[in-house]
Structure 1
Amino acid sequence: MEPSVHELLAEGVKLMAVGMTIVFGFLLLLVGILLGMSRLISRLAPEQAVPERPAPPNPPGLATEADPRLAAAITAAVSYYRRSRRS
């Protein structure tokens, strides 16, 4: 005797629930292991203070302020691009 559609569907739902439970349990176990390792490592090897280095000076030729001509050129290019995309 062949199983009915209802029986097959019920068996599929059971199998899905078991599979999802196993995956969820594995993920919880993985998160727990990672949290435990993180705590263990932070206890065994505390963070060492890193001395701050002064910021390097700007290389020659690099503008520290915006050039008005460059800003105008960029604005014109963006306006042209936007107008050409509309048509």
Structure 2
Amino acid sequence: MHESLFVQGLELMLYGMGTVVIFLSLLVLATSAMSRFISRHFAETSAITVSARPPATGKPQAVDDSELVAVISAAVQSHRQRRGR
């Protein structure tokens, strides 16, 4: 019972880190198991989300930036008006 303070601190650190590692490992396993369960038993919802993505053609798609620029400009203008500039 007369261990040094350093040894006690080291033991406490190892117990704490071990607890965290075990908890995170169990969390990863539980998440993987739930993901497999959902994909097996609810395959129709997975098919809907996958088909909603645009097809990957390898080429970047043409994007109309004028609408994006207008939205960003309006947001900046609104922010500046609220701050009083």
Q: If the length of structure 1 is used for normalisation, what is the TM-score? A: 0.50
Where does structure 2 lack aligned partners over 5 or more consecutive residues? 55-62, 67-85
Higher-Rg member (1/2): 1
Name segments (4+ residues, structure 1) moved above 3 Å. Answer: 49-53
Aligned amino acid, residue 16 of structure 1: M
Alignment map for 1:49-68 (pairs within 5 Å): 49=48, 50=51
- Taking structure 1 as reference, are residues 52 and 15 closer, same or farther at Cα in structure 2, changes over 3 Å only? closer
- Cα distance in 1 for residues equivalent to 2:12 and 2:18: 10
1:55-76 per-residue CA deviation (whole Å, 9 max, x = no partner) reads xxx98xx6xxxxxxxxxxxxxx
Paired position in structure 2 for 1:44: 41
- Taking structure 1 as reference, are residues 52 and 17 closer, same or farther at Cα in structure 2, changes over 3 Å only? closer
Alignment map for 1:1-87 (pairs within 5 Å): 7-46=4-43, 47-49=46-48, 50=51
Task: State the structure with bigger RCO (CA 8 A, min sep 6), 1 or 2.
Answer: 2
- Cα distance in 2 for residues equivalent to 1:35 and 1:13: 33
Aligned amino acid, residue 40 of structure 2: R
Where does structure 1 lack aligned partners over 5 or more consecutive residues? 63-87
Instruction: Give the drift of 1:48.
Output: 2.2
RMSD of Structure 2 on Structure 1 (CA): 2.7
Q: Matched residues, percent identical? A: 35
- Cα distance in 1 for residues equivalent to 2:53 and 2:14: 53
Instruction: Give the drift of 1:51.
Output: 6.5
Number of residue pairs matched?
A: 52
